[in-house]
Amino acid sequence: MEGYVLLMLVYVFVLAIFVGFELITKVPPTLHTPLMSGSNAISGITIVGALLSAGLGELTISTILGVVAIVFATINVVGGFLVTDRMLKMFKKPSRSGSDGK
């Protein structure tokens, strides 16, 4: 029975990879920034779940995986905010510091 459950989990994981890839490739470039913002929110939820998993107080594999998840999700959130900020700076109008006399 355990082998069947593991096989189903792997099947769902691989299916999610293919469906996710197909959906992401269909997103127009103008929607990439809001999509990244939503991805950052999902990573924030992942951090909360990892904190709950790591904070059980027992040193088990779930605690170790929770700490690893905290590290990776934090890296993902910080990197996502940096990339989103860089993309938003591309849409800012350049300031005219010398033309209006101020």
Please state the rounded mean pLDDT for residues 63-82: 84
Q: Which residue has the tokens 């999509």?
A: 35
Q: Dig out the tokens for 87 from the structure.
A: 């993309």
Q: pLDDT at residue 49 above 90? A: no
Residue extents of the structural domains in the chain = 32-90
The span from the CA of 55 to the CA of 60, in Å, is 11
Q: pLDDT at residue 28 above 80? A: yes
**Amino acid at position 100, single letter:** D
The span from the CA of 33 to the CA of 42, in Å, is 14
pTM: predicted TM-score of the whole model, two decimal places: 0.56
Q: Which residue has the tokens 């170790």?
A: 64
